Structure 1
Amino acid sequence: MLKKEARKLYRQKRLDLSVQQMSKMDDLMLIQFQSAGVPFLHSILSYWPIEENNEPDTHLFTEYLKFRNPELKVCYPVSDFSSLTMQAVVTDIDTPFLKTELNIHEPDSRDILLPEHIDLVFVPLLAFDTNGYRVGYGKGFYDKYLASVRPDCIKVGFCYFGPVDKLDDLHEFDIPLDIVVSPDNTYVF
């Protein structure tokens, strides 16, 4: 399957989900994630789910990790659309978030944590294949960022649906995920 086809198909499948269906699947994914055996972490890069895109509720997974690791540094991305890059900004309970014109919530802070200090990254996706490659929104922000993290940084995606067999149009800069959590399974690559 081509990324463009998967992007269109799975974006629509996600938009067709009801709030009740998503809530149930988010709870099931949290159970899967809790069973995944994620090691002790010092820092993560999460992201604020875009409600208009029916994205999985990453707040559940972030809060679970914060509960397990009280000293955890939680970062959120701030994007630069002119260079298609992003930075991880450290947040706390008092950090305000601003909603951009693209419905992305970004922290209103400039306390940047360098990529080599991130232990785990939650990576948004619309679909993924059986080799851990994902279909995102098509701008390449995360693949560029993931190219700069440590090799042992854990890359995790959350998807309401199972994998497609294979994405046929991968590029040399596509970086596979280590784990994808769905309501029914945890895929480890």
Structure 2
Amino acid sequence: MTKQELRKIYKAKRIAEDPKKRLRLDDLMLLQFQDFDYGGIHSLLTYWPMAEKGEPNTHLFNSYLRHLLPGLRITYPVSDMHTHQMQAMLIDEDTVYRTNEWGITEPQKGTIIDPSEIDMVLVPMLICDAEGYRVGYGKGFYDRYLAQCRSDVVKMGLSYFEPVAYISDRDQFDVPLSFCITPQHIYEF
């Protein structure tokens, strides 16, 4: 199937999930997430979940890592919708966030961290395939950003759904995930 076909199917599937079931699926994913080896992770690029799109609750995963890894530097993306570029902005307990006109919650101000300094990225996604290629929201922000990161950066997706066999219209600029966490499995690509 194509990205567009998969995007349509999995957006609808995610929104159709009962909110109580999504809470349970988030908890099951957190259990899988806790089985991962976080040695060598000192900086994280994560994102604020869009509840209206049924995204996994990344706050659970961020909180777990914050407690597991004292001193972890946590960043959030700040996007430029005109250039389709994003940067990682360092946050702390005093960070103020705002939701932009596209419904994305971002830090208002902070220090920009170079992509080469990021050790792990939680990558938004709808679904991925058996080789780690993912379907996102179709603007390519993360693929462009990940191309600037070190080759050993951990690229982790969180999905309520098991991978599909193959995305038929992958292109040369698509950056595959390293891992995908689902409620039942940790997939390594």
Shorter-chain TM-score range: over 0.9
Distance in 2 between residues matched to 1:157 and 1:144, nearest whole Å: 16
1:151 aligns with 2:137: no
SS at match of 1:70: coil
2:186 maps to: 186
Amino acid in the other structure paired with 1:96 = V
SS at match of 1:122: strand
1:174 aligns with 2:174: yes
Distance in 2 between residues matched to 1:106 and 1:165, nearest whole Å: 33
Question: Residue 110 of structure 1: CA displacement?
Answer: 3.3
CA contact (8 A) 1:115 1:145 kept: yes
Question: Residue 36 of structure 1: CA displacement?
Answer: 1.9
Question: Residue 103 of structure 1: CA displacement?
Answer: 1.2
Question: Residue 18 of structure 1: CA displacement?
Answer: 1.3
Distance in 1 between residues matched to 2:41 and 2:178, nearest whole Å: 16
How is 1:23-42 mapped onto 2 (pairs within 5 angstroms)? 23-42=23-42
SS at match of 2:121: strand
1:54 maps to: 54
Distance in 2 between residues matched to 1:149 and 1:186, nearest whole Å: 22
Listed as ranges, the gaps of 5+ residues in structure 1 are: none
Question: Residue 70 of structure 1: CA displacement?
Answer: 1.2
What's the TM-score, normalizing by structure 1? Answer: 0.98
Q: Write out the 4+ residue segments of structure 1 that deviate beyond 6 Å after TM superposition.
A: none
Identity %: 47
Listed as ranges, the gaps of 5+ residues in structure 2 are: none
CA contact (8 A) 1:40 1:69 kept: no
Question: Residue 156 of structure 1: CA displacement?
Answer: 0.3
Question: Residue 40 of structure 1: CA displacement?
Answer: 3.6
1:75 maps to: 75
How is 1:85-104 mapped onto 2 (pairs within 5 angstroms)? 85-104=85-104
Question: Residue 8 of structure 1: CA displacement?
Answer: 0.2
2:16 maps to: 16
1:109 maps to: 109
Q: Please, what is the CA RMSD of the aligned residues?
A: 0.7
Distance in 2 between residues matched to 1:107 and 1:187, nearest whole Å: 30
Distance in 2 between residues matched to 1:93 and 1:18, nearest whole Å: 32
Distance in 2 between residues matched to 1:37 and 1:118, nearest whole Å: 17
SS at match of 2:75: strand
What's the TM-score, normalizing by structure 2? Answer: 0.98
